[in-house]
């Protein structure tokens, strides 16, 4: 029997409903409770588990004083079953969207800087041109964006250049200018352009997950023989501005994000350091192999922005 014939024979012995019920047994630790939750007779569920064990060729459950627990093989099966049920749910959701007129889906991961500067407007333009394509956008650090693309959790990623994206294919997306943000009454608030080293005398506010920016800030401090004085870390650029406004420190962010937040009680001075003018790129494992909806989005986003 060749491999494909063997696979087909195995598939015909499996039952998605039985896999779902087996997961219920593992979750509840009881065939009776699983049967109740699965709206099936206990005897019928026991029969299904026995048939599944015959198909697998080994025991999947072992009895103990308070019910049942999965054997080692049963634990392995439960893990794989969870993946299968998840994919079936994705299939069901996709078919439902198709029936409602949605003809494709793109999974996109992007850094906070890209999300808070450029993406809302660019995605709005794309959505108007392609109402049949759904976009699932998630926001992460640059490192997490790269990981999501590598592991194929997403189709496309958008973030700044770093060592984490070196093995990915890239296309230019945008360029951002980093600025030093201070309160209006801060000693540096009169500066329009500034080197980051001049900020090291003051308390800083950091952005959690902003790994590439943080590396550069730490490097400047190290080269100057100084300690980076970051007393607070926040999760968003809007929180960064609020902390600065309240006098907790100063911080670095992109000019476009600062402008988008529209906060006139703060001052932004352009950083003149060579790392402060950054390319933001679009990343994929293989642009040529992308599904059609993702390929269309990639073409739209890398279509010659300034």
DSSP string covering 85-96:
HHHHHHHHHHHH
Q: What is the largest CA-CA distance in the chain?
A: 80
Question: Taking each helix axis from N to C terminus, what angle separates 42-56 and 3-13, rounded to the nearest 10 degrees?
Answer: 170
pLDDT given at position 66: 87
> DSSP strand E in the chain: where?
61-64, 67-70, 104-111, 133-140, 156-160, 169-183, 193-194, 204-207, 230-234, 251-254, 266-271, 277-284
What are 185-213's pLDDT values in tens digits?
Answer: 999 999 999 999 999 999 999 887 666 78
CA–CA dist 290, 156 (Å, integer): 9
Residue written as token pair 């360029």: 175
DSSP string across 243-300:
HHHTTS-BEEEEHHHHHHHT-TTEEEEEE-SGGGEEEEEEEES-GGGS-HHHHHHHHH
pLDDT at 11 over 80: no
pLDDT given at position 2: 53
Q: Which residues contact 290 (CB under 8 A, 6 or more apart)?
A: 155, 156, 284, 298
Q: What is the mean pLDDT of the chain?
A: 88
What are 237-281's pLDDT values in tens digits?
Answer: 889 999 999 999 999 999 988 988 876 689 999 999 999 999 999
73 versus 2: the higher-pLDDT residue is 73
Q: Which residues contact 100 (CB under 8 A, 6 or more apart)?
A: none
Residue written as token pair 């293989």: 286
What are 87-137's pLDDT values in tens digits?
Answer: 888 777 666 656 655 578 899 999 888 998 899 999 999 999 988 888 999
pLDDT given at position 1: 46
What are 55-65's pLDDT values in tens digits?
Answer: 888 999 999 98
Question: How many residues appear in the chain?
Answer: 306
Lowest mean pLDDT of 18-27, 209-218, 221-230, 236-245, name the range.
Answer: 209-218
Q: 3-class SS at 105?
A: strand
* Domains (range + CATH), the chain: 3-99 (1.10.10.10), 104-174+280-301 (3.40.190.10), 175-278 (3.40.190.10)
Tokens at 210, concatenated = 């902003």
Q: How many CA atoms lie within 13 A of 160 on its CB side?
A: 24
| Mean pLDDT, range 29-37, rounded to an integer | 93
CA–CA dist 303, 306 (Å, integer): 10
């Amino acid at each position: 029997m060749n491999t494909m014939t063997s696979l087909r024979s195995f598939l015909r012995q499996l039952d998605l409903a039985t896999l779902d019920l087996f997961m219920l047994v593992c979750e509840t630790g009881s065939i009776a409770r699983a049967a109740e939750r699965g709206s099936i007779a206990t005897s019928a569920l026991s029969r299904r588990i026995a048939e599944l064990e015959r198909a697998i060729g080994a025991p999947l459950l072992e009895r103990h004083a308070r019910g049942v627990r999965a054997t080692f093989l049963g634990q392995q099966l439960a893990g794989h079953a969870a993946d299968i049920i998840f994919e079936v749910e994705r299939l069901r959701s996709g078919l439902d969207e198709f029936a409602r007129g949605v003809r494709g889906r793109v999974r996109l991961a992007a850094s906070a800087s890209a999300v808070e500067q450029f993406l809302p407007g660019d995605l709005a333009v794309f959505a108007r041109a392609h109402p049949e394509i759904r976009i699932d956008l998630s926001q992460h650090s640059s490192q997490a964006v790269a990981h999501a693309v590598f592991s194929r959790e997403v189709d496309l990623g958008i973030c700044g250049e770093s060592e984490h994206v070196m093995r990915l294919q890239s296309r230019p997306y945008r360029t951002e200018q980093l600025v030093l943000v201070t309160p209006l009454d801060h000693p540096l608030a009169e500066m329009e352009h500034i080197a980051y080293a001049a900020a090291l005398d003051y308390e800083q506010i950091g952005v959690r997950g902003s790994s590439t920016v943080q590396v550069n800030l730490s490097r400047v401090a190290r080269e100057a023989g100084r300690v980076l004085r970051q007393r607070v870390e926040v999760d968003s650029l809007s929180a960064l501005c609020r902390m600065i406004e309240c006098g907790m420190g100063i911080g670095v962010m992109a000019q476009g994000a600062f402008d988008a937040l529209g906060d006139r009680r703060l001052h932004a001075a352009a950083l003149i350091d060579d790392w402060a003018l950054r390319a933001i790129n679009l990343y994929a494992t293989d642009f040529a192999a992308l599904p059609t909806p993702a390929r269309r989005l990639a073409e739209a986003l890398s279509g010659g922005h300034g």
